[in-house]
Structure 1
Amino acid sequence: MPQSNVIILTDPESDFSLHQNRVTVLPIQGEYSRDKLMLQRIRSYIVRAHCIDIYRLEKLSQEQGRITHFIFSDSDIAVIDDLGQIFEKYQDFHVALTFRNNKDQPLNSGFIAVRGTRDGILRARTFLQKVLEVYSSKYMKASRMLGDQLALFWVIKSDASFDAKRFSKAQAFIKEIGGASVLFLPCATYNWTPPEGAGQFHGMPLDVKVVHFKGSRKRLMLEAWNYFSSSADISDMLCLILKSGRTKYDF
């Protein structure tokens, strides 16, 4: 996605000596201790959403004939396909989340998309604020790692008409939740995690658009990047050869 602008949300103490086109560092005051990191991530998303100048975006959209959309992602994520098609294919959503077939933690907050319209941005702010409130009131004991996912699921399932059984099938769907139109995208395509096991080779499904190197898989990021960078011509990165196999599965 070469036309995208990258904004790094970080703590004010971190030093990023970056001099790249379309890359901006945005320091945000907050609590970045290990046990508050997931809580701070949602707060940072909300701060960023509040910083978006909706009037300026609407003016640019009119001038350029296109809308600037937003994707919030973890730093251990690799985008390997054009995600603009999400906004073209699904015209009626405000916020997009990714889901998997997991009874207690079906939602992963490492990838959140927001439509760059007035409605999309305002409803995304309200939705994330609700998630933050639930996180702070119900899941602070899980704040070190899983509180955000539990809070997300609580907000979703609090809608009496929502059927959690829809998470059992890897098919995208849209549902109105608390005044926001939420698009649910399968993790198998938009938030895929390399499985870990004893094997030395792991194939990647051909339709994957986002790879999430979560947990101990973070060590594979450099290996994958070096492989990509050392190859003169890779038109499609259909498969990663990850030599660092493990016997322990890290969920």
Structure 2
Amino acid sequence: MIVCFGWRQFLLFVTLVFFLTHFLSVMELHQDSNVKDPHQKKQKKFNHLVLGPPAGEGLPNRLQCKGTKALNKIQISTSSNISNGGGGVSFVTIFMVYNSSVDDVKSRDAATIVGRVSYNKVERSMAVLNTFINFIQLAMPESNMVILTDPASRLPLKRNRVTVYSVEGEYSRDKLMLQRIRSYIAFLEKRLEDHSREPTQKITNFIFTDSDISVVDDVAQIFNRYENFHLALTFRNNKQQPLNSGFIAVRGTPDGILRAKVFLEEVLNVYVTKYMKASRMLGDQLALYWVVKSHTSFDEKKFNKAEPFLEEIGGASVLFLPCLVYNWTPPEGAGQFHGMPLNVKVVHFKGSRKRLMLESWNFFKSSSSTEDHDVSVSVSHMLCLVLSSGRTKYDF
């Protein structure tokens, strides 16, 4: 009996060893197959344009493309922006360069090639800023631009109708979004001082934007079309982050500037007290949304429809404009997407799309030279390039 019992133990031990060895071999094979699987999806960025099928095919009121040729045209306004809302328009953006001196333009460390041009980190940042200016001067040639920056920064920028305005503050990467709101507030305070000294001065409306946007139509018309707002924000159908801070319009009257300043001061306070963990990114948008939704009368369901609407928020009349038109962003990766509306006015090249922004301007210049100076056709072709390549992640 003892011998029989020992033999059974031996058989059980052998069986267990065989099972474990087989199991480990199967697991190792499975891991190898995962690594070598050619169909496995990976996050890959490209250093050249990759065109795909343009979204929105066959949908009404959407840009229709065949490759990079537009089959219809976007609706470009022909009216001047000089008299909008009783005055001209100035675009205001915050801009900084990091990691190297702006004088070190000969360095080719981490060079990026766009077309036939090679950029280092500073040069490619400046290229984006200059492209931002180029598009504005194309769509709204009589508008002005103000670049908010650190007093210690020396920007190699000499462009007509462009002013560099220094604001003291904390411009580190981790605090830049926070500093942006503070710089906007400081700029508005200075405008109020100017109005107090010269009450009869000409009214200038302001549009605060990110520097990675392309204005493709006259956005100043909002100051005429919607006469009763103090500031305007852009929204999208997104439950967590329905508001985007990349486009904020402020009416340039003393009352409009004051109410916009007070509104942004409330946003800043919420940002500092509630969202400092998101100070590098998204904190400003979360704070904007908190300020808006904290008013009990506000109906969040209005974000579900891409239609402008007006609301009273903390004593300010706030106009909400759909991102679909005033802050349209090329999509990255998969997901439901319904093309580009024919009345789009602003394209926002967020994140890794900045290469596409530069490529788009280069394509516009080459296209405009062959289209008998029809700007609407050239811009439409350029937007087909954006539409066809917007799903690709670019290394910039």
TM-score, normalized by the shorter chain, greater than 0.5: yes
Deviates more, 1:47-56 or 1:181-190: 47-56
Contact 1:6 1:22 in 2 (8 A): yes
Which residue does 2:152 correspond to in 1?
13
Q: Which residue of 1 aligns with 2:280?
A: 144
Say if 1:71 and 1:114, in contact at 8 Å, map to a contact too. yes
Q: For structure 2, list consecutive stretches of 5 or more residues without a partner in the other structure.
A: 1-139
The CA distance in 2 between the partners of 1:184 and 1:129, in whole Å, is 19
Deviation readout 1:177-224 (Å, 9 max, x if unpaired): 0000000000000000012348xxx96321110111011111211101
Q: Distance in 1 between matches of 2:174 and 2:347?
A: 25
Q: Which residue of 1 aligns with 2:315?
A: 179
| Residue of 332, 335, 351 corresponding to 1:196 | 332
Letter in 2 for 1:22: R
**One-letter code aligned to 1:241:** L
Classify the secondary structure of the residue corresponding to 2:200: helix
Q: Which moved more, 1:32-41 or 1:107-116?
A: 32-41
Secondary structure of residue in 2 paired with 1:60: coil
Q: Tell me the CA shift for residue 56 of structure 1.
A: 6.0
Which sits farther off after the overlay, 216-225 or 121-130? 216-225
Q: CA deviation at 1:244?
A: 5.1
The code of the aligned residue for 2:178 comes to L
Query: What does 1:13-32 align with in structure 2 at a 5 Å threshold?
Result: 13-32=152-171
**Partner-residue secondary structure (3-state), 1:48:** helix
| Distance of 1:146 and 1:221 partners within structure 2 | 22
- Look up the match of 1:241: 385
Could you tell me how far 1:27 is from its partner in structure 2? 1.8
Q: 1:78 aligns with which of 211, 214, 228?
A: 214
Letter in 1 for 2:156: S
| TM-score (normalised: structure 1) | 0.90
Matches within 5 A, 1:212-223: 212-223=348-359
Q: 2:246 aligns with which of 105, 110, 114?
A: 110
> How big is each residue's C-alpha offset from its partner over 1:73-113, in whole Å with a ceiling of 9 and x where there is no partner?
00101111111210000000001000000001000000000
From 173, 176, 183, the counterpart of 1:34: 173
Q: Quick one: structure 1 residues 68 and 77, their matched pair in 2 at CA, closer, same or farther if it must change by over 3 Å? A: same
Which has a greater percent of helix? Answer: 2
How far apart are the structure 1 equivalents of 2:347 and 2:234?
12
Greater RCO (CA < 8 Å, at least 6 residues apart): 2
Comparing 143-152 with 220-229, greater Cα deviation is found at 220-229
Moved more, 52-61 or 186-195: 52-61
What value does the CA root-mean-square deviation take over the aligned residues? 2.0
Note closer, same or farther for the CA distance 1:218–1:56 as it changes in structure 2 (3 Å cut).
farther
- Opposite residue 186 of structure 2, the aligned amino acid is V
Q: Where does residue 142 of structure 2 map in the other structure?
A: 3
| Cα 1:241/1:130, change in 2 over 3 Å | same
* Structure 1 stretches of 4+ moved >3 Å: 55-58, 242-249
- Equivalent residue, structure 1, for 2:362: 226
Identity of aligned residues (%): 69
Deviates more, 1:128-137 or 1:1-10: 1-10
Report whether the alignment pairs 1:59 with 2:200: yes
Structure 1 residue 14 displacement after superposition: 2.8
Partners of 2:391 and 2:343 in 1: CA distance: 25
2:266 is aligned with 1:122: no
Q: Do the aligned partners of residues 28 and 137 (structure 1) sit closer, same or farther apart at CA in structure 2, a change above 3 Å counting?
A: same
Tell me which amino acid in the other structure corresponds to 2:305: K
Q: 1:46 aligns with which of 167, 180, 185?
A: 185
User: 1: CA distance between counterparts of 2:212 and 2:187?
Assistant: 19
Structure 1 residue 13: Cα displacement: 3.1
Q: CA deviation at 1:22?
A: 0.9
CA contact (8 A) 2:195 2:201 kept: no
- Assess if the C-alpha contact under 8 Å between 1:203 and 1:240 holds in 2: no
Question: CA 1:81 to 1:246, structure 2 compared with 1: closer, same or farther past 3 Å?
Answer: closer
Question: CA, structure 1 residues 19+2, in 2 after alignment: closer, same or farther (shift >3 Å)?
Answer: same
Offset at 1:60?
2.9
2:209–2:248: 8 Å Cα contact kept in structure 1?
yes
Task: In structure 1, list runs of 5 or more residues that go unmatched.
Answer: 62-66
